[in-house]
Amino acid sequence: MVEIGIPLWQLQVATSIGLIGVWIGWRGGMSKMVGFYDLPTATRLLLYGFFVGAIYQSAASSLVLDPLWTNVAFPLGPLLLLSLTLSLLTMFLLTREGVRMLNGQPTAGWTFGLGTGSMLVVLLIYRLISTTSAELVFVTTGFSPYSLIFGAILACLVPWSMAIICSWQGWHALEGRRFKPALKATLLHSMLLITIAIGLAYPIALFVLPAAIIWGQNTADRIWLPSGLSPRMKQEWTRLQRTGVSTGVRSVANEEEAE
C-alpha cells in the first residue's frame, strides 16, 4: 500500500480545489470565444495538460521546489532544464497537424496550460496539508480553512498564468515562430515556478501574478485567441463583442468557409 501522508479524502479535496482553476481560467479567457474555436482540440489538449501536469509537478517537486524549500541550493540547472522541456513539449503539441489545420494553436495552448497548472496546484495544496516539518516554513500547514483558502488562491492564479504563457507560445507557433518563443517561455515558466515556491512562504511574492494575468488576459483577448479566426469569423466575432454577445456561431472548418 502506498503511503500518501494524508487521508485519501483530504487528497480528493486538494484535487477538487486544483481543478477549480480550470473553470476559473476557462471563464477568464475561453468563454469569450465560445463557438469560435475548435472545441474537440481544445478539450483534447486540456486532457494532455492533465497528463503532462502530473509528470511536471512530480519533477518540479523533487528537482526544484524541495531544494528551494529546504535551502539546500538554488537549482538553476534543473529549473531551466525542466522549464525548457515543458516549453518544447508545448511547442510540439501545438504544432501537430490536428491543431494546425484549424489554426487552433492559441486556444489549444490556453487549455493545455490550464490542465498543466491545475495539476501543479494539486501538488502545492498537498504539500501545504501534509507538511509538519519545522524546516518548511509555509504560510499555513495542515488541513485547515486557511490552507484551503490559500489553495483556492493558488488555483485562481497558477493555471491562469500557465494558460497565458502557453497561449502566447501558441500564438507565436501560429505566426510561424517556434524555437525562439520556446526559449522565452522557458524563462517565463522558470520565473513562475520560483514565484510560487517563494509565495508559499511569503505570500506577498504572489502579488505579481494578478498584474501579469491582467496584462496577459487583455492581450490574449485582443490578439492571441482571435488570431486563429478567418477574416470572416473575425468580423463576426468583433460584431458580437460590440453587441455584448459572446457566442452565437460555431467553429467551421476552412473548407466550409470557402463554400
Phi-psi region of 209 (alpha: psi -120 to 50; beta: other; left: phi over 0): alpha
Nearest alpha carbon to residue 59 among 78, 38, 37 = 78
Instruction: Enter the C-alpha cell of residue 51.
Output: 497528463
Angle between helices 76-94 and 179-199 (to 10 degrees): 130
Is residue 49 within 8 A of residue 162, CB to CB? The reply is no
Mean pLDDT in the chain? 87
For residues 85 and 62, what is the distance between their CA atoms, to the nearest angstrom?
A: 16
Q: DSSP letter at 101? A: T
For residues 148 and 153, what is the distance between their CA atoms, to the nearest angstrom?
A: 9
pLDDT of 248 > 80? The answer is no
Write the secondary structure of 119-175 as one string of H (helix), E (strand) and C (coil).
Answer: HHHHHHHHHHHHCCCCCCCCCCCCCCHHHHHHHHHHHHHHHHHHHHHHHHHHHHHHC
Instruction: Enter the C-alpha cell of residue 220.
Output: 490574449
Residue appearing with cell numbers 525542466: 82
Listed as own residue / partner, the contacts of 237-244 with beta carbons closer than 8 Å and 24 or more positions apart are: 237/33, 237/36, 241/32
Counting Cα atoms < 13 Å in the Cβ hemisphere of 232 gives 10
Per the document, the length of the chain is: 259
- Above pLDDT 70, what percent of the chain? 90
Q: What is the pLDDT of residues 88-137, one digit of tens each?
A: 999 999 999 888 888 889 999 999 999 999 999 999 999 999 987 666 78
Q: What is the pLDDT of residues 212-243, one digit of tens each?
A: 999 999 999 888 988 888 777 777 767 776 77
Q: Look at residue 249 in the predicted model and tell me its pLDDT.
A: 41
Distance of CA 4 to the CA centre of its chain: 25
Integer CA distances (angstroms), 226 to 27, 46, 92, 116, 243, in order? 16, 19, 21, 22, 17
| Mean predicted confidence (pLDDT) in 163-174 | 95
